[in-house]
Structure formats: C-alpha cells, structure tokens
Structure 1
Amino acid sequence: MNVSEQIRRGREALGMSQADLADAIWVSRNTVSNWETGATTPDIQSFILMSALFGVTIDEMVKGDANVMARAIARDRNRLLVVGPELSDPSAQGADSERVSTVEAAGAQDADAPITLTMPEPQGSVVFGNYERIDAVRAGMPEFRLVRTFALFSMSNYRIENGAGEAVGTIHRGRATFDPVYQLRVPGFERVQVRREWKPGEFRTVYTIEGEGVGVEGAVLGDEFSIWRQGGRIATVTALRSSGRPVFRIELEDDGARPLAFGVAMIFLLLRDFDRNWVRTSGE
C-alpha cells in the first residue's frame, strides 16, 4: 500500500474529511487532496503529525513506497531552523530523559500532574495573533495564565500570572516586516527575544532566540520539543491528540526558572499557532 492510500485509509478510519485532516495537521485541504492523489508527498512535519493522529509509526506509513521518506528529507532539509546557543552533550540529555519519564509515571498524583494548555482561537486576523487569555492548568487548577493587557493591530502585550494571580513576567509581541517578534521579560532573568523570519531565497523559516542562554531542541512545529537554559533542560512541551483546538502538555523541570520556562514555551506555542493558522488559510 502506498503513502497516498495510507493517508486516505487513516483519515477515513477516523471519520475525517480532507478538510478535517488538513485542520488537524496544519495544512490546506488542497494539500491533503494532492497527497491522496499522489500528486505530491507530505513533508517530515506532516508525517510526524499524521503518524501520531492515525496511531501508526512513520515506517508503517511509508511501507510500500521506499523512496518517499528520502524525498521528504531531501526536500525539507533546513526548512525550519532554530538558531540559539549550543545545548549540552548527548549523555546529559539522556539522563534528563530518564528523569522526565519518572515524572510522567508519577502523574497520577495531583502534585506531580502535568500542566495542560489548550490554545484558544485567535481574535481578529491570524496575522495579528491576539488572544484574550490562555490558561495552563494542573489537576484542574490554574498554574499559569497569559492575560492580554494591550492590543493594536499586530502589536500586543501579555501579563504572565501564576496560580495565585500574581504577575511574574510579560510578553510583548511586535512585528519586524511581516513576521512576529516576541520579547519575554521575567524579573531576575535577562530579556529573551524570539524572532521569526522567512528567508525566501533559502526556502526556510528561521526562529532566532537570544538572551539568558536559552535554546530549543526538537521539532518546534512537531509533536515534542524541549527548552534549555545554559546547558540544562528547563521545560518539555508535547502536543497531545485532540479533535478540536491544539492541546499541549508542559513539563517545567527547573523550579528556579518556572516563569521563564513557561514564558518561552508560550512564545513558541504562539508562533506555532501563527504558522498553523497562516498556512491553513493561505492554501485554501
């Protein structure tokens, strides 16, 4: 069975239309149609999202079409580049991965329950990306929230509040040419800035991160990525399966930098939603 047939069968097994699948994985309906007719093949990000949605491995999806993954890798190499400080060595990353698994196993206890966040619909144009309020909850109780304090066209300011409603930081969204630029300020830390820039000559998007030694590892538009600060992991963000708006699990792994880690995670979730909505609407 080739990839186009795998996509069609996986979609129909979930009772989804082409438009439903397109909305779930952040592409246009025409893109899904082209995949199912064999006119084009998915990119790496789309393979990751569909395999999670259909409950199969990527190997199972491309079985019967041995060259499709090689073509996807060759085409999409460096399409999304995250520029920031170098991360710690692989052995340290493996140790942290074991600790994350321990936290997940203890999730049945309220004190160790993961933080979950559902992205609301943006208000107004997707280019402006304004949200009145975004809540992150743990065991049904507020852990952090983002509250909009100002919005004018593509500019907006947000206050980061902890579960007690106390302000612990701010996020400012501006714009350089077309793309959004986010600045995070948390007392006790340097300013962190994340800039999105599309480079048409290189056919790739670049997210540039500056400040506080913060870096990102993993697929920021895929199913999981981690946030690092000065060589140590401070947060892991995982996309959860959902039939509605995107839902994420956020694990904050450094008690001393929790507001900072949450703020950086929120910037990338805001950028994900910007890309999701922009790609979804521009291809119709």
Structure 2
Amino acid sequence: MVDSRWITSELSTVIHSVQRPEASASPYRGSVHQLLPTFLNDANPIELVADAFRTPPANRPWVAVNMVASIDGAIEVEGRSGALGSPADRAMFHALREMPDVILAGAGTVRAENYGPVHLDANAQARRIARGQRPLPRLAVISGSARLDPTSRLFRNATQRPIVVTTESAPANAVAALRDVADVLIAGIDEVDLRDAFAQLRKQELTTLLCEGGPTLNNQLLADDLVDEWCQTISPILVGGTAARGAHGPAMGTANNLKLTRVVVDDDVLLLRYARES
C-alpha cells in the first residue's frame, strides 16, 4: 500500500475510492512548530524540506521514504491511509514531492491506484527551476515482469516519459510495448536489482529519489541498505488489528540505524525526519 494519503485526483485515483482533500498551492502555516534541530514557530514545511542536508552517494541517488502511521505503527485504517492524515502532514507530503529528481513506486501500487503523471503547481515548479532542477520530477516504476498497461493514464497523459525498471527475464513483447511510451531500464535477471537501477539513474544525473512504496518495495530498499532518509508522520490514533506496516517482507538480518534530524509538531501530530549520518 502506498503512502498516498494526499495524492489528489490529478495524480492518481484514491485508495478504495476514498475522497482526499484537494491540494492547495499555499503552504499550511497553522500550528506547525519545529522542535529539532532548532525551535521555529509557524514553520513552513516547504522551507524545512528544502533546507534539509542531502548529499547523494557517487553511485546512486539520495533515497528518501515518506510514510504515515498510527501511534501503534499501522499505515492504514480499514485499508485506508486517509484517516491517518492531517493538514500539516498534507503540507509535508507535498513539500517532499517537490524535492526529488525521481519519484519511485512499485508496479502494484501504480496499478492499484491508477497512477497518473506527477503534477506540481506553478510556484513549486518555479522553486525547482531556481534550484537547477527540471520543473517536474520523473516518475519511475519498478516492475520485474514489465506487466504495465502502455495505454494507461500514467503513459497516455505524461508530459515527460516515465521510467520503467524491469528485468532481463521480462517478456520481450511487454518490454517492447513499454519502450514506445517510457524509458526502460534493465536491472537484474529475474528480480529487479535496485542497486543497479539506482546506479543507472545516477548516471542520468538524477541525484534525489522519493519512494512512495508500497511496503514490499520499502522493505527491499531497507534490505539493500539504500534508505538515506525516512520521513514519518505519527498520527494520534491507535488502530490495533493486523494493519500493514511501512515496510513488509523478509527479515533484513541487520537493522539500519538513522539519526533523528527533525521533529515537527502540529497539535497532537508528530512529523519526524530520520537521515543517514554523513
């Protein structure tokens, strides 16, 4: 399940057809206060994200993950992430989407949510151009089997060609059909090799990447020690039950340690940023 609680109809259909709030061009400035690294009243999420220190490795992009969860770690309430969101979380979500050169999602997430092209408002695009970035992030999809519909709105309505990452064993006809509508990267034989894929993205001077899930892809990133930044919203809700976690899959063996670099509070909601120590 993707952390798409604030993706509007322009970007994708919503999980289980839940109506999400419309995106706003103006930043949320309600009661957001930064507690770490310095105290700031009425903090602007766009500025907080832009000011974060990110130096990509030489052989791959800087990789960030953004998720929301309840106090007890659930990323959904009855299959829906919308109940976990808040206005500040919404603002941080859009601020983070403005940051990367690439937005990454798994094929299951793309199919389940009927992903469309990435959209940012004019102000966000202007800020990206001022930083030397393209007006919009590229969208990359992981699909080991290349089972993506080349006529879907992801490809049909794109203002720039999406990137599809697949494998050597993917059916040749499926790969050929995708090459007509996307830039296809081959990484791995039977399973996608994320390290190889990210190295290819880095060679294209794509230096920052935001992963939007789902949990299986997040877990693969953790297992390969590819997560440099994890942004976590903690919603003041207790869910219980068997709800999914932000990363799900085989045990990693060795835990990955990150440093807490930002704490933002909005009423009872916590917005945390953890990052790899340089």
Q: What is the TM-score with the length of structure 2 in the denominator? A: 0.24
Higher gyration radius (CA): 1
Q: Tell me: higher relative CO, structure 1 or 2? Use CA pairs within 8 A at least 6 residues apart.
A: 2
Bigger helix share:
1
Q: What is the TM-score with the length of structure 1 in the denominator? A: 0.24
